[in-house]
Structure 1
């Protein structure tokens, strides 16, 4: 087999519309998870864990922001770390990959997830840019089916001229 390595083609990048939809859907799923946690905490308070209620009352804006960051970071680390896709990316048929079209390692996903908290990161996608959390982590969001087809063709092309061993 050939030693050549697949390099991602920019034509596979997800459209701005798909990226925007990913953002909106992931934001929606974040709020759902956040509300489920708050609901669960409310049940615990109702069952007699009054100190939890007092703690929640005293959190303030900074405390709730930290909780939101932890929940968001956990969401992206789990989903993209395990599947290279968030729930929104499953819906839109996109996937996070490295420049070779492979699933990024956990450290890369961690860096990507942290970069989401850079102020105005969401605005860096305007004008067709890859965005900071993609470019700083050297990741790409691509159409999954198109990537699979492109990689299949790449593999088949590399097999041309190779003698079959029987």
Structure 2
């Protein structure tokens, strides 16, 4: 009887097959490993290529484990949230106050002004997180707790990752999702993590 995994393994790349029989071996059952071994033999994959891919996969695995061990818990995330929330509120109130000094409030302008204040609070929220995390990989809260935002592989996030992360913060219940899982909704959707900043 043909190995049930033979077809699946025949669709894998050389790199994926080598990872399966080496660094990811413990994640697969013996029948799957056997099918991967048979496919490698069938393709006659060059041994030097085998060693190169195995070395790269081992390095990637070690890097991932290092990053995963540095992911911060809910307590620190909550402290970050509190600090950032108050800093953002103070910032928004200062800006509203300055604008209020220059724009007189009249009965006619009350509705427009209210709308403007809402837009201002929304704008400062987006700007606060996006600018700081794009520039420094951290907000004021993260500076205090010595943590930073990274991509899943530990690299610095792209601007697009941070923008996605920032707008995902507007999803209802996102602000408390990190209390239940290590990576909150905005982390998960932007493929980012908050880790200890070992450089500090």
TM-score by length of 2: 0.63
1:27 to 85, 96, 101: 85
Q: Which of 161, 164, 181 pairs up with 1:128?
A: 181
Q: SS state of the match for residue 190, structure 2?
A: coil
Q: Which runs of 5+ in 1 are unaligned?
A: 150-166
1:17-76 CA distances to partner (integer Å, 9 max, x unpaired)? 11000000000000110111012113323xxxx3xx348621476554332221100111
Between the two proteins, the alignment pairs up a number of residues equal to: 140
Q: More deviation in 133-142 or 35-44? A: 35-44
User: Which digits, 9 at most, give the CA deviation of each residue in 1:83-120, with x for residues without a partner?
Assistant: 10001100000000002212101000000000000011
What do you get for the CA RMSD once the two structures are aligned? Answer: 2.3
Structure 1 residues 29, 56: closer, same or farther in 2, change over 3 A? farther
> Deviations 1:106-153 (Å, cap 9, x if unpaired)?
0000000000000111121122331100000000000102xx49xxxx
Higher Cα Rg, which structure: 2
TM normalised by structure 1 equals 0.75
**Dislocated runs of 4+, deviation >6 Å:** none
Where does the alignment leave 5 or more consecutive residues of structure 2 unmatched? 1-54
- The residue aligned with 1:37 is 95
Task: Specify which of 72, 75, 83 is matched with residue 17 of structure 1.
Answer: 75
Mapping of residues 49-88 of structure 1, within 5 Å? 50=104, 53-54=105-106, 57-59=110-112, 63-88=116-141
| Structure 2 residue matching 1:58: 3-state secondary structure | helix
